[in-house]
């Protein structure tokens, strides 16, 4: 079963895709311009060390000490690589969570556990998580979490890291959706440069380029970084991704526009969803909302929405969700209005 959003290819008509959390502002103009100017670079191999791209990443985060950057063909590439290279005693996945954490564990034959550690409002149950972290584990923690949408505060992050150190474990802090979080709510451990953490990110969602496939991990452990790179194929980042990363990470205006758009459209959706009595939802710190239907299953809702050429994210692949849970991306006003109008019409499904 396909466990991700964005699968629009099985439908004859174009879909309004709320199943994938992609920035609706689209590809930054700066990236499009750079691609056109540097098109001839595709006739050469990329730099096998990707020096300019790695420098752009470290500059973006203004690291006092240059961290080790490991590039991936999307964030998923690095999820699988870190499981293979650490080979932990077990993988701990606080659920509900992104299914590729589990898939990477299965692929590399590493035992894993997926306890449900988020409450009904999507908040992490910290004390329970700390109890679940055993010796020499690899822990995946998404900030903000997919699919609950909640970001973590400083106290939570520091408590988790203390437990990671105590158990001689390793933490993958998945910050793929972190750029969507309001600046006042952005908390990370990166400034402390911890050796037992990999900070995982990608250009996919925030810059609206999922087809380009560029993820990156920042580590402060040179030995692990080199081991992960040895695990990869040469030239695994193509020229278009290489150019996009160098340019997009310097485009601060695009990020400012994204923050303004998201604040406005999130408020609009909150107000409109509140008018639909059979939907329960929680506020999100990023660009999607996890909802629960008190009346219909997500599959039933999806079948009706397909008549309006709308896709939503079903709960497939997420441990801890019920058949009544569904996730919706936050899109442009026109698309958001179309979704609300379609949901409002679903007073009954037969």
159: left (phi over 0), alpha (psi -120 to 50) or beta: alpha
- Residues 56, 234: contact at Cβ < 8 Å? no
Q: Give the relative orientation of helices 99-107 and 75-86 as an angle to the nearest 10 degrees.
A: 40
> Terminal CA-to-CA distance of the chain, rounded, Å?
26
Residue ranges, the chain, pLDDT below 70: 1-6, 8-9, 12, 64-65, 348-350
Distance CA 194, CA 218 (A): 10
DSSP state of 92: E
| Rg, the chain, Cα only | 20
CA separation for the pair 31, 38 (Å, rounded): 10
**H-type helices in the chain, by residue range?**
29-37, 51-60, 75-86, 99-107, 126-132, 154-166, 222-231, 239-248, 252-273, 298-306, 333-344
Could you give the count of Cα atoms lying within 13 Å of 305 in the half-sphere of its Cβ? 27
> Token pair of 181, please?
């979080």
Query: Distance between CA 43 and CA 106 in Å, rounded?
Result: 38
Distance between CA atoms of residues 338 and 50, nearest Å: 43
pTM of the model: 0.94
Quick one: tokens of 166? 């105590």
Length of the chain, please?
Answer: 350
Structural tokens at position 331: 């899109």
The domain 29-248 having CATH identifier 3.40.640.10: the answer here is: yes
Place of tokens 């895709």: 17
User: Comparing C-alpha atoms, which of 193, 202, 129, 201 is closest to residue 167?
Assistant: 129
Class of 16-26+252-344 in CATH? alpha beta
In this structure, the number of other CB atoms found within 10 A of the CB of residue 297 comes to 17
Where along the chain do its domains lie? 16-26+252-344, 29-248
Estimate the crossing angle of helix 333-344 against helix 252-273, to 10 degrees: 20
* Residue 105 dihedral angles phi and psi, to the nearest 5°: -65, -45
């Amino acid at each position: 079963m396909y466990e991700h959003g964005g699968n629009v290819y099985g439908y004859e008509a174009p879909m309004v895709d709320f199943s994938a959390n992609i920035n609706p502002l689209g590809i930054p103009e700066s990236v499009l311009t750079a691609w056109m100017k540097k098109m001839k670079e595709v006739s050469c191999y990329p730099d096998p060390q990707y020096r300019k791209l790695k420098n752009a990443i470290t500059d973006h985060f203004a690291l006092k000490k240059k961290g080790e950057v490991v590039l991936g063909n999307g964030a998923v590439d690095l999820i699988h690589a870190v499981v293979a290279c650490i080979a932990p005693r077990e993988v701990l996945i606080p659920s509900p969570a992104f299914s590729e954490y589990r898939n990477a564990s299965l692929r590399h034959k590493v035992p894993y556990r997926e306890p449900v550690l988020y409450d009904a409002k999507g908040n992490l149950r910290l004390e329970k998580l700390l109890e679940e972290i055993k010796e020499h584990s690899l822990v995946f923690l998404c900030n903000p979490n997919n699919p609950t949408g909640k970001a973590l505060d400083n106290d939570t992050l520091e408590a988790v890291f203390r437990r990671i150190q105590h158990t001689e474990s390793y933490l993958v802090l998945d910050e793929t959706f972190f750029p969507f979080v309001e600046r006042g709510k952005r908390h990370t451990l990166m400034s402390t440069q911890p050796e037992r953490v990999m900070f995982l990110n990608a250009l996919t969602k925030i810059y609206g380029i999922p087809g380009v496939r560029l993820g990156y991990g920042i580590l402060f452990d040179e030995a692990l970084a080199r081991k992960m790179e040895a695990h990869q194929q040469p030239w695994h980042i193509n020229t278009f991704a290489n150019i996009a990363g160098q340019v997009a990470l310097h485009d601060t205006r695009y990020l400012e526009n994204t923050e303004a758009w998201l604040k406005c459209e999130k408020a609009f959706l909150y107000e409109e969803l509140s008018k639909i009595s059979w939907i329960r939802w929680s506020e999100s710190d990023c660009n999607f909302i996890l909802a629960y239907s008190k009346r219909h299953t997500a599959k039933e809702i999806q079948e009706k929405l397909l008549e309006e050429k709308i896709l939503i994210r079903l709960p497939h692949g997420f441990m801890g969700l019920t058949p009544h849970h569904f996730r919706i991306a936050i899109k442009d006003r026109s698309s958001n209005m179309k979704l609300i109008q379609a949901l409002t019409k679903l007073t009954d499904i037969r």
